[in-house]
Structure formats: C-alpha cells, structure tokens
Amino acid sequence: MLPFLFPERLRAVRRPALVTAATAAAVLLAAGPAAAHVHVESDNAQALAQDVTLTFAAASESADAGITQLRVVLPEGIEPTDVTYGEGPKGWKLTVTDDGYTVKGPAVKAGEDVEHSVVVRQLPDAKELAFKTLQSYSDGRIDRWIELPEPGGDGHGHGHGNEAPVLELEAAAPGAASVGPSPTAPESAPAPSPAPTAEETTATPSARAAAADSEAEDSGLSAAAWAGIVAVVLAAAAAVAFLVVRRRGAARQ
C-alpha cells in the first residue's frame, strides 16, 4: 500500500515527530540565553553620585572548575584609585591594576556563582557604564565578557553572547558636581637633621682638627698648605741660625 492512499496515517506519524522537534528546539533556545554572564547593579545608580556600592554577580559556566578571579576594566571617568573593596568570596582580595582591578582568591566550588562588591568614590556624568570583565577558572579557562553596546543600538553587544556588564545611570541630581581627582599621598618632606648629641657637642681633638681643616678650606688654604708654609719658614730660620753660628766660629779663629 502506498502512503498517499492513507493520508490519515501519515498525519498520525508526523504529529509526534513535530512535537518532539519543537520540544528539543525549545530546550536549546532556553539553554542558550541562560549561559553564564556577569551582571552589575547598584542601589544608587545616578550620575555624579558619591560613595556608590556596585555589586557584580558572575555566573559559573563550568561544572568541573571553580571561579578563581574576576578582572574588571573600569569605564572612563572612574580611576582605579577611586575603587575600594567591599565584600566577596572568603579569602578573596582586591588588587588595583593600570586600567581597573582584580578580585581573586581560592577557587570557589565548581559550578558556584561569585558575587563581590566595590565602593566607587564618585560615578562619572554619563548615561551608562560598561565594565569589561575577564572571568578565570581553576582549570585555566577564561570567559571574556567584553563586548560593548553599539552606538544607537538596542543596548546589547554584537550578538555573540559575550556582552560586558552595563550599569544604566539616572541623570545627576540638581547641583551635583564632580569632586575632582582622587587625592594623592602628599610628598614626604625631607627629614630634619637630628639635634647633636652630647658626645657630638663635646668635640674630640680629631673633630676639632677636622673643623680647623674645614675652616682653612673655607678661607682659601687647606691645613696641609699651612703646614707646608710653616715647615719652610722653620727650615729657613734653622739655616740662618746655622750660618750665624758658623761665621762666629770662623771669626774667633
């Protein structure tokens, strides 16, 4: 029998196949957007707001390795020195880099998400802030959440699923102003010379001689030069005395 002679049987065979394919497609579509990502949020997301706490949540994308580090590149308007560590996984610490900071420590449990917070001295006057993030695992894997929204787009990245976390800001409050750059540590003033001790105040002979040499140098001649002059004068006087004594002896004869 040919199948086209029994269309009702053909429809009965197709229905389960279509249902199975639709179910599988729905599962795959649901799994795609649910992949790991990094998200940032704040209770005070407002331009020029000060001492703002930002909380980052990084979802795990590995069932075999734990997250060990998050490297965050700060957007323009926030300097690394403007950021202080809030909270994070046990044993993790913040380290400032040239363009942002890293928080790292012992690997968390495989498959476990990571959340940490930082306090920003002041948010810049902007509409949104993108924080490029590199997420490292204990097996060497690195997830790169670095795609930026396209100008004039819908706020999403380039469509590869690696969008950087973005914080949208409300307009600045009336009268809000920039507090300026972070203060730097003042330059250390030269240490004052220590007061002379009792031993230094009572000069020893050698100390006095050194002082005399210094004074002689300041006056134009060193102590050695003066000693040479004195030696020449004494030698000349001795020679004159010798000649006088010799002449007197010759006169007596």
Residue 147: DSSP 8-state: B
Q: H or E segment at 51?
A: strand 50-58
Amino acid at 134: L
Q: Count CA within 13 A, CB hemisphere, residue 14.
A: 6
* Helices 223-252 + 205-219 axis angle, to 10: 90
* Residue 105, C-beta contacts closer than 8 angstroms, at least 6 positions apart: 68, 69, 88, 89, 90, 91, 92, 93
Instruction: Give CA–CA dist 199/192, Å, rounded.
Output: 19
pTM over 0.85: no
Amino acid at 110: A
Task: Please classify residue 118 by burial: count the beta carbons closer than 10 Å to its beta carbon, then call 0-12 exposed, 13-18 middle and 19+ buried.
Answer: buried
Amino acid at 88: G
Q: Are 147 and 130 in contact (CB under 8 A)?
A: no
Beta bridge partners of 114: 58
For the chain, percent helix, then strand, then coil, each to nearest 5? 30, 25, 45
Nearest residue to 64 via CA among 148, 139, 163? 139
Instruction: Give CA–CA dist 167/133, Å, rounded.
Output: 13
Token pair of 116 as six digits? 């940490």
pLDDT in tens, the chain (253 residues): 444 444 454 454 444 444 444 444 443 343 333 445 999 999 999 999 999 999 999 999 999 999 999 999 999 999 999 999 999 999 999 999 999 999 999 999 999 999 999 999 999 999 999 999 999 999 999 999 999 977 655 545 445 679 999 999 999 999 999 997 766 544 434 444 444 444 443 444 444 444 444 444 444 455 555 566 656 667 777 666 666 566 666 555 5
